[in-house]
Amino acid sequence: MKVISTIAELRKVLDEHRAAGKTIGLVPTMGALHNGHASLVERSVADNDITVVSIFVNPTQFNDKNDLRNYPRDLKADCALLDKVGADIAFAPEVEEMYPEPDTRVFSFAPLDEVMEGPFRPGHFNGVAQIVSKLFYAVEPHRAYFGEKDFQQLAIIREMVRQLSLSLEIVGCPIVREQDGLAMSSRNMLLTAEERERAVKISQTLFKSLEIAVNNSLAYTKAYVEDAMNSTEGFRLEYYQIVDGNTLQPIENWEDSSYIVGCIALFCGNIRLIDNIKYKEEK
Ligand code: PAF
């Protein structure tokens, strides 16, 4: 696997592949890779001739300086994992390479970015759109792969592709969970042993809520999840929203949509975790 740190070299290598008729898949990441990322890479390797994985902790999407400072970084371990799962290129630029000058572009994804993460992480999705669009321009992939754990991000990236009239395909991939059900996340490694044990309650509650939803109203099911999180010591719930899976707008009744997802964000100690569950699958 090649490790490349400049856009110029990346373009040169990819232009050669394109000239030879090869298809290119991109998996954008912020590193600290785990099996969730590995599943995205494996999917790209299966779908494309060449798979590029970007590893870049993007400063413009962090609304909290401490979160940016503490975000886990381990390029050597990341490259070892990528080698194992068959990636062709790791693109690991420095901040100056991606942002030679401040990116002043302002995106609007309303109403998709006005709910859930939006109010809690001001500027976050603008930063995501800045870096992901730059990566799309640099790599010009045929397909790009994103995990459904970041459910709102995936919807916003699809909307960005629509707004910018880009021609690549966005592929959403299912959440990968630890054996006990915790959604895989680079942030999990920041949890203390006690917090890690406690964190399993998030997915347990979401799965239990699927059963509760069968015979109860949406409001009752939502309150069940909120109560379970609020009554767990060490948790601080930011939101639990049950939304239409396409518009991301909260709904009030199970009959209001044919695609329904519950999205949660909370602090477990000092670590912010997100997860989601589908009450009705997309048709
Ligand atoms: O989901 C992530 O890891 C990041 O938000 C992304 C898409 C790589 C952009 O920095």
Same domain, 136 and 250: no
Same domain, 111 and 193: no
77 CA distance to ligand 1 middle (Å): 18
Q: Which of 130, 152, 173 is the last residue of a domain?
A: 173
**The one-letter amino acid at 261:** V
- The residues with which 52 forms a beta bridge, in sequence order, are 26, 89
Q: In which domain, by residue range, is 232 found? A: 186-275
Same domain, 270 and 139: no
Band of the pLDDT at 282, cuts 50, 70, 90? Answer: confident
143 CA distance to ligand 1 middle (Å): 15
pTM over 0.95: yes
Annotated catalytic residue 37 = yes
Which one from 17, 37, 124, 142 is the annotated catalytic residue? 37
Q: Which ligand 1 atom is nearest residue 157's CA?
A: 7
Give pLDDT, residue 195.
98
Residue 150 lies in a domain: yes
Same domain, 98 and 198: no
Structural domain tally of the chain?
2
92 CA distance to ligand 1 middle (Å): 13
3-state SS, residue 158: helix
Contact criterion met (CB below 8 Å) for 43 and 87: no
Q: Which ligand 1 atom is nearest residue 28's CA?
A: 8
Q: CATH no. for residue 64?
A: 3.40.50.620
Residue 12 lies in a domain: yes
162 CA distance to ligand 1 middle (Å): 18
**Cα dihedral value 75, 81, 82, 86, nearest 10:** 160
Ligand 1 site residues (CB inside 6 A) read 28-30, 58, 61, 128, 131-132, 150, 153
pLDDT digits (tens, 9 = 90+) for 18-54: 999 999 999 999 999 999 999 999 999 999 999 999 9
> What mean pLDDT comes out for the span 141-152?
98
Give pLDDT, residue 283.
79
Percent of the chain scored above 70 by pLDDT?
100
Same domain, 206 and 138: no
Contact criterion met (CB below 8 Å) for 67 and 92: no
Query: Residue 258's CB: how many other CB atoms inside 10 A?
Result: 12
Query: Residue 33's CB: how many other CB atoms inside 10 A?
Result: 27
Same domain, 10 and 115: yes
